[in-house]
Structures are given as structure tokens and as C-alpha cells.
Amino acid sequence: MTLSGAAGCSPNATPARELMTEIRKQNQVAIRERLLKARKSGELPKGINVDDYTRYLSTIIAGLSIQAANGSTKAELNRTAQMALRHLGYRRN
């Protein structure tokens, strides 16, 4: 939701926009750390570029955030997330 919140900020709302940007950056750091842990444990192939993968996952999350803000239902968002996971080669247990 930080993406849609920042998009709705007026030009005078620089502090709010900067805060939301920082939150998104922190989220990317957390995703990257988790991917590094997954690669170390063998859960993620060693050949994956973690930085590219982090940006990819952040893009998927941003898209889901926009769809939620546009009124997509929980079921619709879940189906979209499952589609993204299938594309990544992961399946929900």
C-alpha cells in the first residue's frame, strides 16, 4: 500500500512520499535477506541473481498493492499471487 499512498501524495507532501519510499526500500532489504537465506539453505538455486530477483518480487508486490487499491477482492489477489508463484516455479503446499 506504500506505492499507492505515495502516488496519491501532493507535490507538497514530500515527507510522506519520502517515508513511503524508505518503507519500500526496507521491504526490499528484507526480501533480499530472505532470498540470500533461501539460497544458502538450498531452497533457491545458487545461480539466481538475488538483486534482480528482489526487484522482480518487489514489482509483483507493488502490482498487487495497486490492484488492491483499485478494488480487487482478496480472492482475486490470491489467484494473481498464485499465478506469480507458479511462474517462479513454486507451489503452495
Q: Is residue 7 part of a domain?
A: yes
Rounded distance, CA 73 to CA 86, Å?
A: 20
Position 90 pLDDT exceeds 60:
no
Residue 37: inside a domain, yes or no? Answer: yes
The string of pLDDT tens digits covering residues 4-62 is 555 555 667 788 888 888 999 999 999 999 999 999 999 988 888 999 999 999 999 99
Q: How many domains does the chain have?
A: 1
* Domain extent for 64: 2-88
* Domain assignment present for 41: yes
Looking up cell 490492484 gives 67
Could you tell me if residue 82 is inside a domain?
Answer: yes
Q: What letter would DSSP give residue 72?
A: -
Is residue 93 a part of any domain in this protein?
no
Cα-Cα-Cα-Cα torsion 24, 25, 26, 29, nearest 10 degrees, comes to 120
